[in-house]
Structure formats: structure tokens, C-alpha cells
Amino acid sequence: MWATPLTRLLNIRYPIIQGGLAYLARAELAAAVTNAGGLGQITATTLDGPDALKAEIARFRELSDGPFSVNCAIGHRPIEDLLDLAAAEGVPVVSLTGGNPAPYVEQVKRGGAKLMVLVAGVRAAQKAQSLGADVLIAVGQEGGGHIGKDDLGTFVLTPRVVDSVNIPVVASGGIADGRGLLAALALGASGIEMGTRFVATVESPAHQDYKAALVKAREQDTKIIERSLGRPGRVLPSPYVEQLLKDEENSIDAASLMQRVRGQVNRDAALDGNLDHGFVWAGQAVGLIDDIPSVAELIARMVKEAEEGCYRVSQGLAD
């Protein structure tokens, strides 16, 4: 049941991708995901440039000989140097997120990597396919981090994108267990991507307070910041976030808002645990997170849950 167009294309055992995670998607986490049968990703754009990415790739290769992806979020810094480095290192997969991939497609393809593009709507999906993407990751508004502007949920977005293109589609946003994995496959996706769930694992470098907050939070707790800046993103609540939202409502000028949502504030909260004085990304899937397992335990559990769920549905025993 686990062979899909995605697993064949990426040469992985299970159709499970670890999402790009600012400051957190480092070699240890990525290698744990790949070694457990999924596809790990290293987020390049929050590292200190190409040399740091090179070191991160070397570290990954010490820990795993499986495939992995380098994730570049568009719009935070120039990414050409990171893509050049990825090509020179023979990175097998690259993902582009958060902006128009057009200027970078040729560079990725020249480097020989498979290209995954994150989309939040049908038009962007068709555009990315026409540009040459190999995989589309469709992210619903339940997700952690930056989401689409149209507030489309994963359950509608996934089959809409699947029906609109002819390349493998990965469902993302709100998935944290084997039921979500099975549902995504039932919606026509060839796999899933998870962000929030992987933050709350042993191998994630997130601060313990961040992981504990993910376990404690309920599905209705997350907030959306940066809507007034045209790039909504889902976070855990905090006093810092409350003030930010008030100021967004009161149309505080964009330059001052940009300053307060800069990466460093997120970094200090996520890695040093300054949760009250900053913001950390998290999706509605927090409601489904009750523990901090190792990545291997998590993936094995999800596979088992999905297999059991599949059997139950096929026997007509679902209640």
C-alpha cells in the first residue's frame, strides 16, 4: 500500500515528507525522517549562507545515506547561491516555497534535482506544473507557518489540486497522525507533508518549552499573524502575538510590523524558549499532538494507524 508515484519518484519507503521548518529543519531532524523511511528536508534560508548549508549537508550525509531535500523559502534572502551549492553537492530534491518559483526553476533543473513547489491554490499549482515542477505540495490553511491567502482547508484544496494537474500532489496542513495520512491518500494525494508534528519530536532542535507548548495547545488556540502584510502565518498564542494582532488591527505601519516579525524574533523563541517575548509557528494540528516521540516511533505509529484504518474502512467496520 505504500508505493505511490511520490515514493517512486523520490525513492523513499513511506510517502511522508518533513516540511521546511525555519531554524529547525537541520540535519539531525532531516536524517531521522529519511532514516525512518520518509523524506527529510534541510531549510537553507535560515542558515548562515552557502558554507553553513554545505556543512549541514555533510552532517546529513554522516547520519544518513538516503535521499533528502533542500528547502528554500523565497523572499527572505537571495537564494541563487544556496541553489548553486545544492547543485554542486548533488542534492537530489529541492523545494521552493513562499513565492513565485519561475526565476529559479531552470537553475534547480540544471543542477539535476527534482523540484517540489509549495502551493495554496489551483492556479498556482497549474502554473508550477507548467514551469516544470515535479511535485506539488498543497498546503491548507490549517497548517503552521505561512499559509495561503484564501483560507482553503486541506480537505477541499487537496482534491482540487489533484484534479487540476498530472504530477504527484502532497497534502499538507493539519496532518499529524495515521488517520490524516490515510485521508490524504483517499483524497488523491500521493503523500503528505507535516511541519508542526515534526517540531514536537525528540530529534527536533526546538526548545523544550516550545515542544511542551505544542503538546499543551488545543486546536482552537493558534493565531494568524501577518495578514495585514499580505502573508498570513499561523503561530502559537503569546503576549507578543496578542500585541502584534492588536497593532495589525489598528493598522500600525508595515515597516514597524516587519521589524517585529523578523526571523530573529522567531529564532529566539523557537531555539532559546523565549515564547512569551516572541512567536513560534504552529498549525491546528497541535490539537492532535499529545507527546514528543522519536521520529522513528512517530512514523512507525502513523504507518500502523493508517494500515489499521485502511483495513477497517475496507471491511466496512468504520464507525
Ligand X SMILES: Cc1cc2nc3c(=O)[nH]c(=O)nc-3n(C[C@H](O)[C@H](O)[C@H](O)COP(=O)(O)O)c2cc1C
Write out the residues near ligand X by the rule CB under 6 A.
19-22, 24, 43, 71, 73, 97-98, 118, 139, 142-145, 172-175, 193-197, 199, 281-283, 285
Q: How far is the CB of 210 from ligand X (least distance, A)?
A: 8
Q: What is the enclosing helix (H) or strand (E) of 72? A: strand 68-73
What distance in Å separates the CA atoms of residue 101 and residue 234, rounded to the nearest whole number? 22
- Residue number, 230 or 316, with CB nearest to ligand X: 230
- Residue number, 193 or 226, with CB nearest to ligand X: 193
The residue of the chain with the least Cβ separation from ligand X equals: 195
- Residue number, 3 or 271, with CB nearest to ligand X: 271
Q: How far is the CB of 58 from ligand X (least distance, A)?
A: 21
Q: How far is the CB of 215 from ligand X (least distance, A)?
A: 14
Q: What is the enclosing helix (H) or strand (E) of 316? A: none
Angle between helices 178-186 and 295-314 in degrees, nearest 10? 50
CA 160 to chain centroid: 20
Biggest CA pair distance of the chain? 58
Locate 252 and state its grid cell. Answer: 500600525
Locate 174 and state its grid cell. Answer: 493539519
Q: How far is the CB of 307 from ligand X (least distance, A)?
A: 21
What distance in Å separates the CA atoms of residue 102 and residue 132, rounded to the nearest whole number? 9
- Residue number, 56 or 142, with CB nearest to ligand X: 142
Q: How far is the CB of 314 from ligand X (least distance, A)?
A: 27
Angle (CA) 22 23 24, round 5°: 90
Q: What is the enclosing helix (H) or strand (E) of 282? A: none
CA 78 to chain centroid: 20
Q: How far is the CB of 18 from ligand X (least distance, A)?
A: 8
Tell me if 136 sits within 8 A of 167, measured CB to CB. yes
DSSP 169: E
- Residue number, 3 or 186, with CB nearest to ligand X: 186
Provide the 10 A C-beta neighbour count for residue 25: 30
* Range 78-101 burial, b when 16+ CB lie within 10 A, else e: ebeebbebbbebebbbbbbbbbeb
- Residue number, 165 or 194, with CB nearest to ligand X: 194
Q: Give the closest residue to 88 by CA, choosing from 44, 114, 54.
A: 54
- Residue number, 107 or 252, with CB nearest to ligand X: 107
- Residue number, 37 or 173, with CB nearest to ligand X: 173
